[in-house]
Amino acid sequence: MVALAATLFPLAAVAQQDASLEFENVWVRAMPPFQPNSAGYLTLTNRGKAAVAIVGASSNVAESVELHTTREVDGLMRMEKLTGLAVAPGERVEFAPGGKHLMLFGLAFRLVPGDDVQICFQLITDEEVCTDAEVRMSGDTPDAQDHQHHHSTE
């Protein structure tokens, strides 16, 4: 039965794996002119039955994208690069200002509110899953300046 299904639908298993990550509320921070970097946020949920291991990220508007987390060290909020992120079945991971986020380095152009950009995640299985992201103003999210400060010396 299983073998028959696999023969008839050889791509079904792959497609299912692709679909197992659900993205919500994906957005990238609008930046003033001449800012080289930005940050992205989203909520992702693993709807599949297997753990998903994210090993990298990319965007069509940035030279490179890193997964970061924010940790308090000696009373200061510091960003740390994550080399990967494992998401268990049913697990929901939030990327939000002040916590986990995507750092977009080397913006190709100025991000203006309302723009649509693309965020992709590379998985350990060599698959890539992409989602649209909306460019929004940061508003009540005060860590934008921290990002710029932190990365301006790199």
**What does the DSSP assignment read for 49-84?**
SS-EEEEEEEETTEEEEEEEEEEEETTEEEEEEES-
Backbone φ/ψ region at 73: left (φ over 0), alpha (ψ -120 to 50), beta: beta
Which span sits near Cu ion by CB under 5 A: 20-28, 62-70, 84-92, 116-124?
62-70
Per-residue x/- mask for Cu ion, residues 72 to 91, rule CB under 5 A?
-------x------------
* Residue found under tokens 């508003």: 139
Measured from the CB atom, the residue of 20 and 93 that comes closer to Cu ion is 93
Measured from the CB atom, the residue of 57 and 79 that comes closer to Cu ion is 79
| Among positions 20, 68, 87, 100, the unique one binding Cu ion when judged by CB under 5 A | 68
Measured from the CB atom, the residue of 31 and 79 that comes closer to Cu ion is 79
Total count of residues recorded for the chain? 154
Q: CA-CA distance, 130 to 102, in Å (whole number)?
A: 14
Measured from the CB atom, the residue of 18 and 66 that comes closer to Cu ion is 66
Which span sits near Cu ion by CB under 5 A: 8-16, 67-75, 124-132, 135-143?
67-75
Q: CA-CA distance, 122 to 55, in Å (whole number)?
A: 6
Backbone φ/ψ region at 10: left (φ over 0), alpha (ψ -120 to 50), beta: alpha
Nearest residue by C-beta to Cu ion? 68
Backbone φ/ψ region at 98: left (φ over 0), alpha (ψ -120 to 50), beta: left
Residue 100 near Cu ion by CB under 5 A: no
Per-residue x/- mask for Cu ion, residues 101 to 120, rule CB under 5 A?
--x-----------------
Measured from the CB atom, the residue of 16 and 43 that comes closer to Cu ion is 43
**Residues at the site binding Cu ion, with contacts judged by CB under 5 A:** 68, 79, 103
